[in-house]
Amino acid sequence: MASSSGAEGESLDDYDSLIATTDVELLKRAWRNEKAAPEILRFESHLISRVKEQIQLMEETVEEKSSGGNDPLSVSLYQMDLDRTLFLLRSYLRIRIQKIEKYMFHILKTEELWNRLSKDEKDFARTCSSDLNQHLEETVLSKLPENYQSVLKQSIISEEDDMVPEPQLDTFVLCRSKEYLTGIQLEDGPADDRQFSSKLFEMERGVLHFICYKSIKALVESGKLDLL
Amino acid sequence: MAGQSNHELSLFSAEELEFIAEDEIVDIVPNLKMGPLNFISGDFGPFTPQIVTQVPLWLAIALKKRGKCSIRPPLWMSVEKLSQVLEAERDSQEMSDQLPFHYVEISRLLFDHARDNIPDVYMVRSLIEDIRNVRFHKVETDLEAFNGRTIAVKIKNLSAMEVNIVRPFIGRALQAFYKHDSPELIPDPERVSDRRPQVVNNAPRRQLRR
């Protein structure tokens, strides 16, 4: 998908904000994007492992402080900070699991999506789909006429797997750009009489837009846009 | 107000929005002495009595609940400022950019936990209420301008809570427009029987649309 950024002279800005941005902030962004995107996004493996490390360190610190019995106030504040981060992490992982459960057959057969999962998520998707497969087989499918026994197809005359739920990429999502973007292709279909179909779209920094997820998918993946 | 926060399309529950808003930074005046706090989410403090320091809202509220600080309401939460904003909102169909993205949540949290730190709290509260109503009314009128050609909607200065309220509606409406406008998504009896290329069955349908 064609996308070019019109950002000039903002690299310094970016650098500053990168330095000032904590992992919690990044996790919050990942969480919001994941919540808002219809399909599963790439697992933020580096970020997640850093956050997990920090959580573990913090848990040890809190443990230490509370057994030392000094200053219950700051211990409780540290605990609150820890709880907030834990909430973000859990919620992030849960949304991903929900998406995997919903679209597991689709993810399993789509390499691009499959590669977005973490190792644990892959294990989960594999076990989950084989269990579901087996369950459906035993309870329903084996009792149906021969032509209708596939989990993936309505009947054997279906050419494609037409019983696999797929995420709807033409959902409209709300996004905010971090920089001035231009040349966003709104429709990737062949140009026809509708004037807007080939029109390039621009976005000012910080302005909210409701837009079709398909059109901005690449920008979300490259981190230029935030969903919310 | 159209309370549709349970709807799966609203994505963020009111509690989650509040959670996000709690990371906004506010000024507090502590009345205790405490060393710096090195949190996962950042370093805050040290805290010295009567010396203003900046902390996230959740920390401010936690300290406030324990009677360890007073919270300085943000500058926009004054009668003077809010009256200006209200006037500006009433004067123009544009949404004013004077208020922070999370103004609803921040003001709500402060009303709940730090009302004694807000000067003229009743006035401030009713002003914010009025601003909310005016703004929401504007959003509703803006929505009437939608039509089938709308492929992307730009909304300036809409706040988090307002976004959440209109999201289910706008999202569904745009999607419906989009679907009805995409010929390939309209079930076509001819297409079911044999999958001919798009170009072939484009012609007759075009005529029907006109």
For residue A218, give the CATH number of its domain.
Answer: 3.40.5.60
Asked whether residue A79 falls in the same domain as residue A144, the answer is yes
Do A76 and B62 make contact, defined as CB atoms within 8 angstroms? yes
Of B187 and A59, more confident:
A59
| Average pLDDT estimate for A6-19 | 48
Of the candidates A89, A155, A96, which has an alpha carbon nearest to the alpha carbon of residue A128? A96
CATH of domain B8-22+73-186: 1.20.58.1020
Query: Tokens for B86?
Result: 């209200």
Asked whether residue A93 falls in the same domain as residue A112, the answer is yes
* CA distances (Å), origin A39, targets A51, A217, B193: 23, 10, 31
Nearest residue on chain A to B46, alpha-carbon basis: A74
CATH of the domain at A65: 1.20.58.1030
- Among A133-147, B47-61, B138-152, the range scoring the smallest mean pLDDT is B138-152
pLDDT tens figures, B190-200: 444 444 443 33
pLDDT > 90 fraction of chain A, expressed in percent and rounded: 46
Asked whether residue A128 falls in the same domain as residue A226, the answer is no
**Contacting residues of A for B42, CB less than 8 Å apart:** 22, 24
Distance, in Å, from the CA atom of A7 to the CA atom of A180, rounded to the nearest integer, reads 6
| Average pLDDT estimate for A94-116 | 93
Residue with tokens 């079709």: A212
Which amino acid belongs to residue B178? Y
Of B70 and A10, more confident:
B70
Distance, in Å, from the CA atom of A222 to the CA atom of A208, rounded to the nearest integer, reads 18
pLDDT at B197: 40
Question: How many domains are contained in chain A?
Answer: 2
What's the order of all strands across the beta sheet hosting B53-56? B53-56, B25-30, B69-72
**Contacting residues of A for B171, CB less than 8 Å apart:** 171-174, 210
Q: Is A76 on the interface with B (CB under 8 A)?
A: yes
pLDDT at B112: 95
| Average pLDDT estimate for A115-143 | 94
Give yes or no for residue B146 having a pLDDT over 90. Answer: no
Nearest residue on chain A to B195, alpha-carbon basis: A159
**Contacting residues of A for B182, CB less than 8 Å apart:** 189
Distance, in Å, from the CA atom of A84 to the CA atom of A94, rounded to the nearest integer, reads 15
- Among A19-23, A27-31, A95-99, the range scoring the smallest mean pLDDT is A19-23
Residue with tokens 């706040």: B159
Of B195 and B95, more confident:
B95
Q: Is A227 on the interface with B (CB under 8 A)?
A: no
Asked whether residue A43 falls in the same domain as residue A127, the answer is yes
Q: Is A228 on the interface with B (CB under 8 A)?
A: yes
